[in-house]
Chain A
Amino acid sequence: MSQSLSFRSAVERAAPWFVPVGLLLIWELGARTGFIEARTLPAPSQVAVAFWESAKSGELGRNVLISFERAIIGLAIGGGLGFVLGILTGVSRRAELLLDSGLQMLRNVPHLAIIPMVILWFGIDETAKIFLVAVGTLFPVYLNTYHGIRTIDRGLIEMAEVNGLGKFAIFWRVLLPGAMPSVLVGLRYALGIMWLTLIVAETISASSGIGYMTMNAREFLQTDVVVLGILVYAILGKAADTATKLIENRVLAWHPAYHAGSVSR
Chain B
Amino acid sequence: MRGIRRITPAPSLVETGLWHSIMLKRLSSADRIPVAKTSIGRGLPSTDGNVRAKGKELALDHLHLSFGERAVLRDLNLTVPAGQFVAIVGRSGVGKSSLMRLIVGLDKPTSGTVSIDGNPVRGLQKSVKLLFQDARLLPWQTVLSNVGIARTPGWREAAMTALRDVGLAERHGEWPAVLSGGQRQRVALARVLVGEPNVLLLDEPFGALDALTRADMHVLLEKLWLRERFTTILITHDVAEAVALADRVVVMRDGRVAFDVDVSADRPRQRTDRDLAALQERILREV
Contact = CB atoms under 8 A, between A and B. Distances in A.
A66 interface: no
A59 B132 CA distance: 63
Interface string B108-144: 0000000000000000101001101010101111000
Interface residues of A, number: 23
B195 interface: yes
B106 interface: yes
A173 B141 contact: yes
Contacts of B141: 173, 177, 254
Contacts of A156: 136, 138
B169 interface: no
A164 to B, nearest CB: 5
Nearest to A158: B106
A159 B141 CA distance: 14
Contacts of B139: 254-255
Contacts of A254: 139-141, 175-177
A69 interface: no
Contacts of B132: 155, 158-159
Contact of A163 (B129, B134, B177): B129
A91 interface: no
A164 B126 contact: yes
B149 interface: yes
Contacts of A158: 106, 132, 136
Interface residues of B, number: 22
B175 A164 contact: no
Interface string B139-171: 111000000011100000000000000000000
Interface in A153-187: 153, 155-156, 158-165, 169, 173-174, 177-178, 180
B283 interface: no
Contacts of B252: none
Chain A residues touching B, majority SS: helix
B248 interface: no
Contact of B134 (A155, A160, A169): A155
Interface string B82-116: 00000000000000000000001010000000000
Contact of B150 (A164, A174, A253, A259): A164
A174 B138 CA distance: 7
Given A155-B132, A163-B191, A177 B138 contact: yes
A163 B141 CA distance: 15
A35 B158 CA distance: 76
A256 interface: yes
B219 to A, nearest CB: 25
Given A155-B136, A164-B150, 20 more contacts: A158-B132, A159-B132, A161-B106, A161-B124, A162-B104, A162-B124, A162-B130, A163-B129, A163-B149, A163-B150, A163-B191, A164-B124, A173-B138, A178-B138, A252-B140, A254-B140, A254-B176, A255-B139, A255-B140, A255-B177
Interface of B: 104, 106, 124, 126, 129-130, 132, 134, 136, 138-141, 149-151, 175-178, 191, 195
